Structures are given as structure tokens and as C-alpha cells.
Structure 1
Amino acid sequence: MSNTVIFYEKPGCISNGKQKALLRSLGHDLSVHNLLAERWTPERLRPFFGDLPVRDWFNPTAPRIKAGEVKPDALDETTALALMLDDPLLIRRPLIASDFGCGCGFASGPLLAALGVHLQPEQDFQSCSQTGDDPKCDIPTGSDST
């Protein structure tokens, strides 16, 4: 089941690396793009979130969310998209587009199932792979300490 998958990542993200390896092991060709460097528009970004609640569009490990500056539960779609365009670290990643549709994150669901990804409950390909009190997962582009 070969399929070209467009995969928007934060370069250097360990979890995104594991996700890409799994997709490749299933025979998918990946077209990998830097999520932080894309020129997003609301119209281009919105489809990745489908019918998810706005709070699930966000990367919970983004510095502005962890600091309490951005509160995803309190946002409407328009405000959420505007914040994400201004600060792509807020976007839940990866963003995936394929012949089977598009989505955000790497949790079990219809898109991953269509791609042949069947995660077991103990398999966590979504959470930040960094550990400790202050993982440097979501620091601005240009750092390689992810």
C-alpha cells in the first residue's frame, strides 16, 4: 500500500522522526516539509483539523500554551487560526495530507488507519519524546536541541 504522504514537521523533533519512520516502514513515500517555514493561510491550514474541537488543534507542549499565555479551550476558530499563523509552534503536529485525507497529530483515527497505522494503546507516537522538567522540544527554529 504505497502512498505519497505530505508530512509537515518541526525539523529535529524526535517524535516526528519516529512517526516518519513508522510511515516509511509501511511503504509510504514521504514528502517532508518544515511546518514552521510554510506560508500558511487560514484556508490552507483549517482542513487539517477536520471536526476536531479547537483545543485539539493545538500543540500542548508549545511554550505559550505551557506558560498559560494561550488557552486553547477559550478560543474560537478564527482566533485560533490567527494565533497559529503568527506562531506555528502552536500547531499540533504533524500535519499529514494524503490521498486518504488530511489531519493533525499522530493518534489513532480514520486517517492513520487508512495509512495502515494501527497503534496499540501502549504505543505513544504523539507525546513529546523529550523528558525532564524543561524539555527543549518547542523552542524557535534554528535550535537543534529537539
Structure 2
Amino acid sequence: MIPVIFYEKVGCVNNTKQKKRLKDFGFNVISTDLLKTNFSKNQLLNFFENKSIKECINPNAPLVKNKEIDLDNTSDEELLNLMISNPILIKRPLITIGTNKFCGFDLNKILDFKLRELR
């Protein structure tokens, strides 16, 4: 089984539940602390394929909840720079399966990878 690299906020209840679901489906989950991982802009953008930068912002991040960032009037470039310097702004989890990367937890998408591997 191809390992699932799971970039999470350590201690996040939702990330813990998501990892358990993946393990229950037989995935080899490798947990990595998202907040301690230094991504370049290009590395981060690889996870956001088919999504806008704004879709990849964690709506529960303190800077967002406290309205310290105006998402509607901040450029994608500025948002990306903020995500690099404040990874708590990145919607979790970031997931890598083989060469495929994506942002957010989509169990159906992950199960598709497992089905392809079994064929």
C-alpha cells in the first residue's frame, strides 16, 4: 500500500478522527506536523490544484476568525505568503499519496487511490 503522508496540526481532534478512518480502511498513515513543515510556495501550490487559494485557507484560524485578514481584499500572492509564514492558516490536512497531493480531507478521493492500486 502506498503510504498516505498526512500533514496535520498535532492534537487536532478532527485530524485524529480522519487518521483513524484512514487506518480503519487499511491505509499506512504517516503523520507529519504541518506547523513544523517549511513549504515553499510551489510546494504548497501543488496541494491546491483545482482549488483557489481562498478555498485552502483554514476558516478557523485565529487570524481569520478575528477578522485580522480580509480575505476578499487580500491578493492570492499575499495569502500564500501569509500561509507560508503562518501555517495555521492552511486548511488541514494536506495529504500526499504517491505523487498526488491535495488539501482538505476527502475520503472518497483517497479511497479512489486505494481502488486504483488494487486493480
Measured against the shorter chain, the TM-score band is 0.7 to 0.9
Structure 1 vs Structure 2: percent identity of aligned residues? 34
Normalised by the size of structure 2, how large is the TM-score? 0.86
Give the drift of 1:100.
6.5
Q: Is 1:65 matched up with 2:59?
A: no
**Aligned twin of 2:43:** 44
Normalised by the size of structure 1, how large is the TM-score? 0.71
Give the drift of 1:12.
0.2
Q: Distance in 2 between matches of 1:74 and 1:99?
A: 36
Q: Is 1:6 matched up with 2:9?
A: no
Give the drift of 1:77.
2.7
CA 1:108/1:5 → structure 2, altered by over 3 Å: closer, same or farther?
closer
Give the drift of 1:115.
4.1
- Structure 2 gaps of 5+ residues are 115-119
Instruction: Between the two structures, name the one with larger relative contact order (CA 8 Å, sep ≥ 6).
Output: 2
- Aligned-CA RMSD value: 1.9
**Counterpart residue type for residue 21 of structure 1:** K
**Counterpart residue type for residue 67 of structure 1:** N
Kindly provide the CA deviation profile for residues 29-52 of structure 1, in whole angstroms up to 9, marking residues without a partner as x: 011110000111101111111121
CA 1:99/1:88 → structure 2, altered by over 3 Å: closer, same or farther?
same
Contact 2:53 / 2:80 at 8 angstroms: preserved in 1? no
Equivalent position SS for 1:36: helix
Higher helix residue share:
2
**Aligned twin of 2:23:** 24
Large movers: runs of 4+ above 4 Å: none
